[in-house]
Amino acid sequence: ELKVEQNPLFLSMQEGKNYTIYCNYSTTSDRLYWYRQDPGKSLESLFVLLSNGAVKQEGRLMASLDTKARLSTLHITAAVHDLSATYFCAVDKETSGSRLTFGEGTQLTVNP
Amino acid sequence: DGGITQSPKYLFRKEGQNVTLSCEQNLNHDAMYWYRQDPGQGLRLIYYSQIVNDFQKGDIAEGYSVSREKKESFPLTVTSAQKNPTAFYLCASRRTRNSPLHFGNGTRLTVT
């Protein structure tokens, strides 16, 4: 059974600081996705990582994938309040028949 | 504009009643998914369908049923057999296995 673990689950940051969210998964996969969810809202796609070593950047967020370590990171640079949200990673297992398994989510709060 | 429409946004039912949640997409995506989200938790897969007239159980299918008679539509029925139906239900679709999921805005179901 595929397990996806994120840490930390809760993160409180000061504006302007950097931090990294980690996503570990238990079985072979080369497709990993990051999503953002604002309170009471649906999920919005942030990044699609499709190969070992993939790196994607959008604004203050950068995501990377290491399939050998079964690890993805979401790095936040110079955080701003607007980044406050819950961030989920999701893994598409190679033999799962097109189903995604989600991590528990990391609730990020950026304080002024 | 293409997208996924879930209705209604809020739904209230009495215990023992079946209820059907609607999900319609005009993105021409083959694959569609139903996830359940409980407060402060990640998403758990209920059912998914990769093609019309075919669907597979996810991790928590007990007490739920689906149909996929048309490409655009993937309704979810929450039956009286589902022990804890109160939750936020999210429908999603995607174009290919290399694509992210596109989510609807969700239906918040409360059963009392």
Task: Quote the pLDDT of residue A30.
Answer: 75
State residue A94's pLDDT score.
Answer: 63
Residue B104 reports pLDDT greater than 80? yes
| Token output for B90 | 């999210």
What residues are paired with B82 via a beta bridge? none
Q: Span A76-80, mean pLDDT? A: 96
Comparing CB atoms, the residue among A35, A42, A103 nearest residue B106 is A42
In this structure, the strands spanning B4-7 and A10-14 are unpaired
Q: How far is CA B47 from CA A37, A46, A60, B77, in A?
A: 21, 24, 35, 11
Nearest CA in chain B to A5: B42
Mean pLDDT of A91-109: 85
pLDDT range class, residue B1, cuts 50, 70, 90 = low
Summarised one tens digit per residue, pLDDT across range B24-80 is: 999 999 999 999 999 888 899 999 999 999 999 999 999 999 999 999 999 999 999
Report the residue from A31, A43, A105 with minimal CB separation from B98. Answer: A31
Q: Do the Cβ atoms of B64 and B79 come closer than 8 Å?
A: yes
* Statement: residue A2 has pLDDT above 70: yes
B50 to chain A, any CB pair closer than 8 A? The answer is yes
Confidence class for position A98, pLDDT limits 50, 70, 90: confident
Q: How far apart are CA A6 and CA A102, in angstroms?
A: 9
Q: CA of B15 to nearest chain A CA: how many angstroms apart?
A: 24
Rounded to a whole number of angstroms, the distance between the first and last alpha carbons of chain A is 41
User: Which of A7-21, A94-108, B7-21, B97-111 is predicted with the least confidence, judged by mean pLDDT?
Assistant: A94-108
- Using the Cβ of A42 and the Cβ atoms of chain B, whether some distance falls under 8 Å is answered with yes
What is residue A27's predicted lDDT score, i.e. its pLDDT? 86
